[in-house]
């Protein structure tokens, strides 16, 4: 690993912290703890992370000291660099297999990295001596996120209610997840490619469109980069109508969120569904609240997110473009599509010019009402060859919605940070 270590040091000398982190993600497992800590400490100082820098400096001086290793792992997790903690904490747990704090912190790091099957393996190895809370809960949760539904159900069934009230929300949450999974399993495979089934089980979200693009080449129904268009917005609303019919839901009105993108889509939804449009009121019952992208609420997010987390009676939250690599702060009840990077139809567009080079068209700055008209004018063309992903016909979406309708629109709209059992290729 000499060449890799030299390259890492050169990146640090160049103060290229992002390049260093990308390099460490690939090679950190092969570095000695002292070398890794020296690199992380330098990067932490450049970023102004004094706590991580201090923990890294101590580990660099005392690489065999248990507390130094634990503190380093803890600081990495707290600073969102959990991948740097996994190796150090794994070695520490190997030396001290009964250290419950080390176990919990390692599982937390693996969860952050969406390495749920590894978290299950670490916990299952010690299953006979696990505490109910949080250890057995973490085993059930990570088994579910890894797609091992039988294990998750078996462990959760033996899990008593926690004495510590701080764990009550987690207890209720995994119960709702397992109830939704049971509903979805009646009509859905819940295997490693069942994106719609798992999206509902984990987040309570009915997914409107499973993307056919790259479906068999690693995407499994999600988008990586997408330039959205008006036709896809119209198709998402048509599928929303299908979902509402299948679930037996008839909203009273469309609640308009304040950002222009959401207003455009909300106005189009109101016209298409024949509903009045009104300003969003978190207390209004039976409202259809339409967002274009819940990560793009702007200055209103601080006020809106708590209001959307708890639902008013009969309220339905719709999101057109939902980011799966940086999930929104609340999970929509219906999401049209899942993306990593998305450009809305009215955003600046890239296209090929006449000379074959890339041309960037400026954003469309028209008001929301005019953009809504464009959505309504969009023609829905029949899908061509390969234009529909497996299991994504209108009939199959309606059947899925009808089967899970009894478990839809229940509980708070909790954020789900992991992609879950269905994996998709992503940009680094």
Q: 90 and 197, same structural domain?
A: no
Q: 259 and 118, same structural domain?
A: no
Q: Token pair for residue 371? A: 């953009």
- Phi, psi of 63, rounded to the nearest 5 degrees: -65, -20
Q: Which of 70, 115, 120, 68 is nearest to 93 (CA)?
A: 70
CATH code of the domain covering residue 10? 1.25.40
In this predicted structure, what is the pLDDT of residue 33? 95
Q: 322 and 192, same structural domain?
A: yes
- The reply to whether 268 falls in a domain is yes
- The reply to whether 164 falls in a domain is no
Span 47-63, pLDDT tens digits:
999 999 999 999 999 99
Q: Token pair for residue 114? A: 């969406």
Place of tokens 């248990």: 66
Query: What's the pTM value of the predicted model, to 2 decimals?
Result: 0.95
Those residues whose C-beta lies under 8 Å from the C-beta of residue 297, and which sit 6 or more positions away, are 257, 258, 259, 262, 291, 304, 305
Question: What is the chain's mean pLDDT, rounded?
Answer: 96
Q: For residues 345 and 230, what is the distance between their CA atoms, to the nearest angstrom? A: 6
- The reply to whether 375 falls in a domain is yes
Residue 291 in contact with residue 237, Cβ under 8 Å? no
Q: 375 and 342, same structural domain?
A: yes
Q: Is the dihedral of CA 262, 346, 322, 197 positive or negative?
A: positive
Among 136-150, 236-250, 350-364, which stretch is predicted with the lowest mean pLDDT?
350-364
In this predicted structure, what is the pLDDT of residue 360? 87
Please, what is the Cα angle at 25 between 24 and 31, to 5 degrees? Answer: 45
Q: Is the dihedral of CA 202, 203, 206, 207 positive or negative?
A: negative
pLDDT over 90 at 96, yes or no: yes
In this predicted structure, what is the pLDDT of residue 283? 95
Span 224-256, pLDDT tens digits:
999 999 999 999 999 999 999 999 999 999 999
How confident is residue 262, by pLDDT bands cut at 50, 70 and 90? very high
CATH code of the domain covering residue 392? 3.40.50
pLDDT over 80 at 428, yes or no: no
- The reply to whether 417 falls in a domain is no
Residue 74 in contact with residue 87, Cβ under 8 Å? no
In this predicted structure, what is the pLDDT of residue 1? 64
Q: 398 and 297, same structural domain?
A: yes
How confident is residue 46, by pLDDT bands cut at 50, 70 and 90? very high
Q: Where are the beta strands (DSSP E) in 51-179?
A: none
Span 200-219, pLDDT tens digits:
999 999 999 999 999 999 99
Among 64-68, 229-233, 377-381, 422-426, which stretch is predicted with the lowest mean pLDDT?
377-381
- The reply to whether 165 falls in a domain is no
Residue 74 in contact with residue 105, Cβ under 8 Å? yes
Span 317-339, pLDDT tens digits:
999 999 999 999 999 999 999 99
pLDDT over 80 at 354, yes or no: no
- Domain limits at 357? 188-407
Span 287-302, pLDDT tens digits:
999 999 999 998 999 9
**Ramachandran assignment for 307, one of left (phi > 0), alpha (psi -120 to 50 degrees), beta (any other):** alpha
- The reply to whether 416 falls in a domain is no
- The reply to whether 42 falls in a domain is yes
Q: For residues 84 and 79, what is the distance between their CA atoms, to the nearest angstrom? A: 10
Helix (H) or strand (E) holding 333: none
How confident is residue 350, by pLDDT bands cut at 50, 70 and 90? confident
Q: b/e map of 262-273 (b: 16 or more CB within 10 Å)?
A: bbbbbbbbbbbb
- Total structural domains within the chain: 2
| CA distances in angstroms from 291 to 51, 59, 74, 284, listed in the order given | 38, 46, 36, 16
Place of tokens 């190997």: 94
In this predicted structure, what is the pLDDT of residue 116? 98
How confident is residue 383, by pLDDT bands cut at 50, 70 and 90? low
Coil/strand/helix, residue 254: strand
pLDDT over 60 at 44, yes or no: yes
Q: 148 and 222, same structural domain?
A: no
């Amino acid at each position: 690993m000499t060449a890799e270590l030299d390259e890492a040091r050169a990146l640090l000398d160049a103060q290229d912290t992002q390049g260093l982190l990308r390099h460490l993600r690939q090679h950190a497992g092969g570095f000695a703890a002292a070398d890794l800590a020296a690199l992380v400490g330098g990067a932490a100082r450049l970023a102004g992370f004094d706590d991580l820098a201090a923990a890294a400096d101590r580990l660099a001086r005392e690489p065999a000291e248990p507390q130094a290793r634990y503190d380093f792992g803890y600081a990495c997790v707290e600073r969102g660099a959990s991948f740097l903690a996994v190796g150090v904490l794994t070695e520490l747990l190997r030396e001290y297999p009964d250290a419950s704090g080390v176990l919990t912190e390692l599982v937390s790091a693996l969860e952050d990295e969406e390495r749920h099957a590894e978290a299950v393996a670490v916990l299952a190895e010690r299953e006979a001596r696990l505490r109910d809370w949080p250890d057995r809960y973490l085993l059930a949760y990570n088994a579910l996120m890894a797609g091992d539904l039988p294990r998750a159900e078996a462990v959760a069934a033996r899990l008593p209610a926690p004495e510590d009230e701080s764990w009550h929300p987690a207890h209720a949450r995994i119960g709702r997840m397992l109830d939704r999974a049971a509903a979805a399993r009646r009509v859905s495979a819940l295997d490693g490619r069942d994106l719609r089934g798992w999206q509902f089980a984990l987040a309570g979200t009915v997914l409107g469109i499973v993307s056919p693009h790259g479906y068999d080449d690693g995407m499994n129904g999600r988008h990586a980069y997408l330039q959205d268009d008006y036709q896809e917005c119209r198709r998402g609303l048509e599928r929303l109508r299908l979902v509402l019919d299948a679930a037996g839901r008839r909203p009273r009105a469309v609640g308009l969120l304040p950002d222009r993108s959401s207003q455009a889509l909300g106005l189009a939804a109101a016209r298409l569904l024949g509903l009045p449009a009104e300003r969003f009121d978190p207390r209004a019952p039976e409202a259809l609240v339409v967002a274009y992208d819940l990560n793009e609420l702007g200055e209103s997010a601080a006020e809106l997110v708590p209001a959307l987390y708890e639902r008013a009676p009969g309220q339905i939250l719709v999101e057109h473009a939902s980011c799966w690599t940086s999930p929104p702060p609340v999970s929509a009840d219906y999401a049209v599509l899942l993306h990593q990077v998305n450009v809305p139809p009215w955003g600046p567009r890239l296209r090929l010019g006449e000379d074959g080079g890339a041309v960037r068209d400026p954003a469309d700055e028209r008001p929301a009402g005019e953009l809504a008209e464009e959505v309504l004018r969009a023609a829905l063309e029949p899908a061509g060859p390969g234009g529909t992903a497996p299991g994504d016909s209108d009939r199959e979406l309606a059947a899925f919605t009808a089967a899970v309708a009894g478990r839809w629109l229940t509980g708070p709209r909790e954020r789900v940070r992991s992609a879950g059992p269905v994996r998709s290729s992503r940009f680094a």
